[in-house]
Structure formats: C-alpha cells, structure tokens
Amino acid sequence: MHSRRTVLTTAAATAAAACATGAAPAGAAAAPRPPVPGPAGSTEAAEARLRRIISRMTPEEKVGQLFVMRVYGHSATDPDPADAAANQQEIGVANAAELIGKYHVGGIIYFGWAHNTREPHQIADLSNGIQKAAAAQRVPVPLLISTDQEHGIVARIGAPATLFPGAMALGAAGSRDDARTAARIAGEELYAMGIRQDYAPDADVNVNAANPVIGVRSFGADPQAVARLVTAQVKGYQDAGVAACAKHFPGHGDTDTDSHVGLPYIHHTQEQWERLDAPPFQAAIAAGIDSIMTAHIVVPAFDASEDPATLSRPIMTGILRERLGYTGVVVTDSLGMEGVRVKYGDARAPVLALKAGVDQLLNPPDLSVAHGAVLKALQEGELSWPDIDAKLLRILLLKERRGLFADPYTTHEEVDRVVGIQRHLRSADRIADRTTTLLRNAGGMLPLSRLRENKVLVTGVDAASPTGTGGPPTTVLAHAFGELGFAATALSTGLAPTQTLIDQAVAALRERDAAVVTTYNVTADSPQRQLVDALLATGKPVVQLAVRNPYDIAQLDGVKAALASYSWTDVELRAAARVIAGRQKPSGRLPVPVMRADAPDTALYPIGHGLRY
C-alpha cells in the first residue's frame, strides 16, 4: 500500500492544475511513478482510511461512485461544440468536469468515437483534467479511467502508441513471455496517459467458429492454453500498475449471437462450463486480477430464470464470489448493450446488477435514469447501504492499489518517455513475427522470394481498422512488400467485390507475377470466393491471407498457399508480409481448429497446425 495521504492537499491540487496542462509544476521534475503494489489485498490501515472517506459521502455521491461513464470530447472542460452538444443530449452536462460534479461518477471510459483518444498528449491532458475535477469535489476521490485496449481488432488508442497483435495471434505464438511482455508494455503506455484500468484480457474460450462478437479477441479454443495466456497478461498489465479485467464472465466463447444486439444463450452443462469456460477465470483469480467483467448472456444450467448473467445472483454471487472465491471488483459489460436491456429495461438493469453482486455499472444509456433508479431502490430498501458500502470499499481499494490516491496525474514528459518509443515498437514487431500461421503451401509456392520476377498484386478486403491503427490493409501490405524489395500494387475489392472489381483484379494480375488476396470471414455465398476463384483461374500464384478469423480457407478449396494473420492491423500485416516474402519463417500454430465446410464435425486443420518453410 502507498503511504502518501489519501486526500489531495492544497499543494497537490496546485500541482494537479499544472499537470492538467501537461507540464510539471514549476521547478519540479516529472514525478516518479508510485511503486506498483502487489495483487489484490488490503491493509487494515488502508481500509480504515477508505472507510472514513465513504462515511463522508452523501447517498448521491455513494451511488455516483458505482458508475463508470462515457463522455464526449478531447478535453475535460473545453470539448468541441459538437461534443458538448452530444454530452448535453445524452447526459445533461457539457463536459467531463460537469459530469463529475453532477453525478460524482467513480470512473470514465475512453472511446475513440467519443473523441477521447486523439493522440497521447491529449489523452494525458484529458486524464489530468478529469482528476483535477475529481480533486475539486466535496469528497475528493480520484477516478478510475479505463478503456478497451485489447489490441488486435479492438484498440481505442492508435499510433503513435505501440500496438500489439491481438489475443488469437498471441495464442498462435503460444508464448507466455510474449503475452506478458505485450501486456506490460501496453500497460506502461496506458499508465503514462493516465489510464489505470484496461478491459483486457479476454478470457473467453472461443469454441464456436460462428461466434460473431468474440472470435479473434479470444486466445483460442483450448481452455488450458487460454488460461496460461490470461495469467501472463494479468501479470503484465498489473506489473505496469494498470488494473487488468478478465472478460466476459461466465464465458462468451460459445455463442452465435452478438450481445450488443441480442441476448445470447450458452447451453453448456455445469460440467462443460467447468471444463471449457471456467479455467481462464480461475487462473485470472489465482493471479490476483483486480477486476472481472460480466457477460450479457443466459446460462440456463446456472440460472433457471434465464436472466442475463450480469443480472443473475446465482452466477455473480453463487459462482463467481462463492464457488470461485473472487473478492475483487466486478464490473458490468456496457449497460447500453441490447443483451442486458431487452428483459428488464434501463431502470431495472442497474438495480438488478447490484443485487446480483456487481460493483461497478458501466456506461448506462441514460445515466440520470440509472442513477435515480439505484437511489430509489436504496430508499425503498430493495438495496441496502451496508452492501453498497462494501462495493464502494472494493472499488476504492482497487484505486488504492493502482496508486490513484497517491498520485493520479501524469505529464507530457512521462508520455514522451514511454509511449510509442522505438524499443516498444521493436518488441511489437518481434512478437508479431511469431504469430503468422502458414496453413497451406501446396507445391512449395511460398515464400514468394522463389519467384523469378517480383511484381506482386495485393488485392481483396480492406477491413475498417480500429481508430488510429493504420490501414487500409491492402495498402499496408503493398507498402510492406515494397520495403522488402517487391514491386507491389494495391487494389481494394471490398467485402463484397462486384464483377467489375473482380475483372479489374484479374486484369491487374495478368500484368504481375503473383497475387496476395486478403479475405475476411468468408462464407459459402460470399463474393470473396468468386474473386479468389477468378484470380486462381489466371494460373498465376495466388496467396490467400485471412485477416480476421482463420476459418476462411475451409471455403477456398483451390487455394494452394494460405495464411492467417488474425487481424488487419499494421503490426500483424507487416509480419505476414515478412513471412510471405521469405524474410521471416512462419512459426504460428492454430489456436483454434478449422473445420471442413462440407463436414463441420471434421477438422480440416486441428489446433496446433502450422507449416514451416
């Protein structure tokens, strides 16, 4: 535990004001990072201090501390006019400072679409402004600032921050050291920008190839392998001073419904859950994870009422708290998702989540409705103040462990010292080099360094990259091949290529020596199949690269050379280009099975498959 005082002094508040502009106080060097505490736990002195803070709070302040909310804008006090208008419309305030003053929220979540994450210095200034507003409250409590920085296809903060391969790519590498290193570096950079919680790692075991919401966000389909990498990432993030958050409990890996738009059902028996879904969460708890996120899914084997797990006391308390012995913070997945709204509505969901055993309420669609509903439930005795105080203590202990009461601020100097530095970027490239998986190489078509000529067409899907993560993929690949000595041309044909675009790609290939075609979640009736078939019909070498789920090859029988990168982000595409070109040997192995399209119960390529040159 930290020995520094809990409440900011006047001098500290003055320093906070300086930090809010990105500068250290006059005459002072940038403050060193507080020592990183160990896993979840507390001392009697810390608990007593935090209980005194809780005892000073009004009912409205206590309830506010339970919420983690979005807010539009790049600044805590001076957002762009459009962002201020969006805040007024959705929250009834103009900016983050007003949000804190009105609702006393305990946390804020950053999104790219909310314009919170333009670039690292701005993010640091926003974080400092938020903490300055918190310090000015009647009962000053630092905010827990969080984001979804899973890496791979889910990244709220882009370049120049360091971007790593996502979970399934790390699963293909299979290295606990790589997983821990990626999380540690990612955590250090988040910490430097004032973000002390990352909603990562994903602890779901992706055993359903049709899963529309998890997929490559999971480390794989082997529960024990997933558990090992979850453990590594928990330790990496928390070694860096950032709270990790395993998600989505009790396990979102076997569903064909997206909980953002519907209510998924998981039909595992209790025995199947213990074997398939539980191991990564058990491993995260054993590693001392700070927080766990719920899933808006129905698991009839655990709750006959068929309430979403987020609202289910048998799941949140009976299984997570009592059976697994978890004592840390439980946070809901976003309360704006349809999976949690469909059965009870926006006023009841937060109340039922708290009754179920949840501590933090994430991103309700209407904060005034949710905040008012929780207050009303307390006034009417449906919720109890001792239970709310226990939740608050868990939340404040997490903030204490992550150094927020000691010093919640950062500086531009800290950002420049840590974020996107060359050493981190080189680590990301080295890790990515171990992830690309060679699935098929009939006739030894790869590497392309065997070509007598070097003119390459890069065509196919240009998936929408996460904010600031680069792209478009065909352009990134073509540039990467250019740096490797090839004469490469990019031609995007999109997710559903028209016949005109297919004809253009075929004509372009006739003037070149080989094609690299990117594919994205190919189905039996996907026009992407027509593109690949047309390219193959030219007789030129065609290399297929799956840039999301690795299952595409099952729909592409004629392809002789196929690889999986597990994402379309720049770091993974550059690594794939090095493998295709022969500058790096492929070493990734499938962390999920690829089943046959004509016999879905039969593996085309099993877990662990991966060819070498």
Residue 255 has pLDDT above 90, yes or no: no
Share of the chain above pLDDT 90, in %: 85
- Tell me phi and psi for residue 413, to 5 degrees: -60, -40
pLDDT tens figures, 100-130: 999 999 999 999 999 999 999 999 999 999 9
**Dihedral Cα 290, 296, 298, 302, nearest 10 deg:** 20
pLDDT tens-digit readout, 122-163: 999 999 999 999 999 999 999 999 999 999 999 999 999 999
pLDDT number for residue 464? 59
Burial 544-564 (b: 16+ CB within 10 A, else e): bbbbbbbbbbbbbeebbbbbb
Residue 75 predicted with pLDDT over 80: yes
Q: How confident is the model at residue 39 (pLDDT cuts 50, 70, 90)?
A: very low
Tell me: pLDDT of 22 over 70: no
Asked if pLDDT for residue 450 goes beyond 90, the answer is no
Set 260, 346, 416, 479: catalytic member:
260
- Predicted local distance difference test score (pLDDT) of residue 339: 87
Looking at residue 42, its pLDDT comes to: 56
CB 262 within 8 A of CB 255: no
C-beta neighbour count of 381 within 10 angstroms: 8
pLDDT value of position 263: 87
pLDDT tens, position by position, 301-329: 999 999 999 999 999 999 999 999 999 99
CA–CA distance, 518 with 16 (Å, rounded to integer): 48
HSE, CB side, 13 Å, CA atoms: give it for residue 16. 26
Q: Is the peptide bond before 250 cis (omega within 30 degrees of 0)?
A: yes
Res. 415: pLDDT tops 70: yes
pLDDT confidence band for 264 (50 / 70 / 90): confident
For residues 46 and 401, is the Cβ–Cβ distance under 8 A? no
What is the mean pLDDT of the segment spanning 212-236? 96
Amino acid in position 58 = T
Q: How far apart are CA 20 and CA 116, in angstroms?
A: 15
Describe the strand order of the beta sheet including 197-198 as a list of residue ranges: 197-198, 144-147, 107-110, 67-69, 361-362
Give the pLDDT band (50/70/90) at residue 48.
very high
Give me the mean pLDDT over the 433-449 stretch.
95
d(CA 116, CA 74) in angstroms, rounded, equals: 5
Give the mean pLDDT of the chain.
91
Higher pLDDT, 461 or 25: 461
d(CA 400, CA 394): 10
pLDDT of residue 13 exceeding 50, the answer is no
Segment 345-362, tens digit of pLDDT = 999 999 999 999 999 999
What is the rounded average pLDDT of the residues 436-445? 96
Choose, from 148, 198, 204, 333, the residue flagged as catalytic. 333
pLDDT at site 2: 32
Mean pLDDT confidence for 365-375: 97
pLDDT of res. 11: 31
- Distances in Å between the Cα of 107 and the Cα atoms of 115, 196, 296, 377, 570 are 17, 10, 21, 22, 31
CA distance 3 to 315: 37
Confidence of residue 14 (pLDDT cuts 50, 70, 90): very low
Which domains can be identified in the chain, with CATH numbers?
Answer: 10-418 (3.20.20.300), 436-605 (3.40.50.1700)
pLDDT tens-digit readout, 456-502: 999 999 865 544 556 789 999 999 999 999 999 999 999 999 999 99
* Catalytic residue flag (residue 260): yes
The pLDDT score that the predictor gives to residue 19 is 36
- pLDDT for residue 30 is more than 90: no
Q: What is the pLDDT of residues 583-601, one digit of tens each?
A: 999 999 999 999 999 998 8
Question: What average pLDDT does this structure show over 16-43?
Answer: 39
Bridge partner residues of 544 (DSSP): 517, 562
**pLDDT per residue as tens digits for the range 539-562:** 999 999 999 999 999 999 999 999
